[in-house]
Structure 1
Amino acid sequence: MSDAAQPSAAEVRAAAEAVKAALDRHLDAVERRSGEDDRAVYDAFNELAAAAEVYDELLYDAYDEVTPFEIPGDDSLPAYTGPEEPSALTVLIRRDYAVVEPQRLLAQARRVAEPDQGTGAGPGDGGGPGGAAAVGDSVQAAVGVIFGEYEPDEIASRHKEFGLEEGDSTLWVAAGDELPEPGEWLATPFDQPDPEQVVCRFDVSSVFDEELDDEDDLEVLGPGS
């Protein structure tokens, strides 16, 4: 950055004062908290994060220095603007798995696909035409059999039995005024929802455990985190 584009000392000082004011507003909101999901605390937190990010950027541009604060990234949700009393909900779930034991996955799929050993949980006992022979040595076919037979929550709780290893997962709950028409979104079911309609999200990741291993204290980055 050129000298002409660098922020002035007065701009950096003003940003620092904004952080101090945001700190006071956040503490005041916390002290006056009316419940676990108090909107005033949430808004004050976002204002503090935004002020701290501006200060951090100006401080770096002007003096090549940084703050010790960790600012929430772009994955944080904006303020909720959906209906106060939603009459419809959309639940989006993503779970990642690594196939660490393909032979175990194949064995479980063949067992499910055997006509006489199916659990009866779905059409054709989960095996489809051809039974175990259709699975063969195809991991892709085995995945189709397993996920066609078992509910996603059951696979999540028994993933090791299927030779899978958990990766990151997330669950988003978005609010709406009414359900879409039947079949309306089936062509593109996983389009990004409007973040301002998301009531809550829950993330599970090994990165959280790694951060705890690297730090003596747990730093809370946001309400409910």
Structure 2
Amino acid sequence: MSDAAQPTAAEVRAAAEAVKTALDRHLAAVERRSGEDDPAVYEAFNELAAAAEEYDELLYDRYDEVTPFEIPGTEDMPPYTGPEEPSALSVLIRRDYAVVEPQRLLAQAQRVEAAEEPPASAPAAVAGGTVHGALRLLFGEFEPDEIASRHKEFGLEEGDSTLWVTAADDAAEPGEWLEAPFEQVDPQRVVCRFDVSAVFDEEPDDDDLDDDLVLEPVLDEDEDLDPLDANR
């Protein structure tokens, strides 16, 4: 890059101040969050990601220096090509669980079933007598957010999760996509995404640190988020 095209020191400083402001706003949103999927937290995350990316780019262009910032789940997202003013949106959520305590799962399902008055025609065998039946019963009884917050009670262990917000020109007609709800997801209409994975929490071992002596920017110009994925 030529000297004429380089950002000024004042521009780098302004970008750093923008990151500080975005950090404060993100923390305030987290402190006031109303639930696991509070949209205010996602919005603040997106603003922080954008500010961090801008600062990272200016810092590198001006001083040939990098930051430790990394926004998970955004590297493979294509550029956004959806409507500038969406009139409708879809929220797509995937949460993975491992069944680590089948007996706890079965016990919870049987408690739920025992609390309900079975119809006279109900079969003698309880629906929650198998892992498959217990899962079907519990996920039919509880909202997904409640299961997410109480997963240990149900003998489950959280895996990766992701939330995508996609923009649309018009709201879908009732029943329009129910037969194949996830078949026509366009990554280029993702407004933001939030990913959660244990891989983001892994600390590099000493051998990895030795191999990473050459540092490169970790925020790609293709990142348009939240990206939120995900998580932490």
2:126 aligned residue: 133
What is the one-letter code of the residue matched to 2:144?
P
- Inter-CA distance 206–31: structure 2 relative to 1 (3 Å threshold): closer
1:184 aligned residue: 176
Alignment equivalent of 1:165, drawn from 157, 170, 173: 157
| Range moving further from structure 2, 176-185 or 31-40 | 31-40
User: What do you get for the CA RMSD once the two structures are aligned?
Assistant: 4.7
- Inter-CA distance 77–32: structure 2 relative to 1 (3 Å threshold): farther
What is the one-letter code of the residue matched to 1:189?
P
Partner Cα distance (2:75, 2:125) in 1: 43
Who wins on radius of gyration, i.e. which is larger? 1
1:193 aligned residue: 185
What is the one-letter code of the residue matched to 1:85?
E
Partner Cα distance (1:22, 1:99) in 2: 54
* Unaligned runs of at least 5 residues, structure 1: 1-16, 49-68
1:100 aligns with 2:100: yes
On the 8 A contact 1:29/1:41 being kept in 2, the answer is no
Partner Cα distance (2:165, 2:181) in 1: 14
1:166-197 Cα distance to aligned partner (Å, 9 max, x none): 00000000011111122111111112511111
Q: CA deviation at 1:211?
A: 3.9
User: SS where residue 107 of structure 1 aligns?
Assistant: helix
* Unaligned runs of at least 5 residues, structure 2: 23-46, 58-67, 210-216, 228-232
On the 8 A contact 2:70/2:218 being kept in 1, the answer is no
1:7-61 Cα distance to aligned partner (Å, 9 max, x none): xxxxxxxxxx69xx7999x96994797996499979979xx7xxxxxxxxxxxxx
Partner Cα distance (1:189, 1:130) in 2: 33
Partner Cα distance (2:199, 2:160) in 1: 9
1:150 aligns with 2:142: yes
2:82 aligned residue: 82
Q: CA deviation at 1:199?
A: 0.3
- Inter-CA distance 79–144: structure 2 relative to 1 (3 Å threshold): same
1:102-128 Cα distance to aligned partner (Å, 9 max, x none): 0000000001111xx14x9xxx79xx9
- Inter-CA distance 206–147: structure 2 relative to 1 (3 Å threshold): same
1:66 aligned residue: none
Higher relative CO (Cα under 8 Å, sequence separation at least 6) belongs to: 2
What is the one-letter code of the residue matched to 2:146?
E
Structure 1 vs Structure 2: percent identity of aligned residues? Answer: 56
Partner Cα distance (2:169, 2:139) in 1: 32
| TM-score normalized with structure 1 length | 0.60
On the 8 A contact 2:127/2:134 being kept in 1, the answer is no
Partner Cα distance (2:6, 2:172) in 1: 40
1:10 aligned residue: none
On the 8 A contact 1:91/1:172 being kept in 2, the answer is yes
On the 8 A contact 1:169/1:203 being kept in 2, the answer is yes
On the 8 A contact 1:110/1:132 being kept in 2, the answer is no
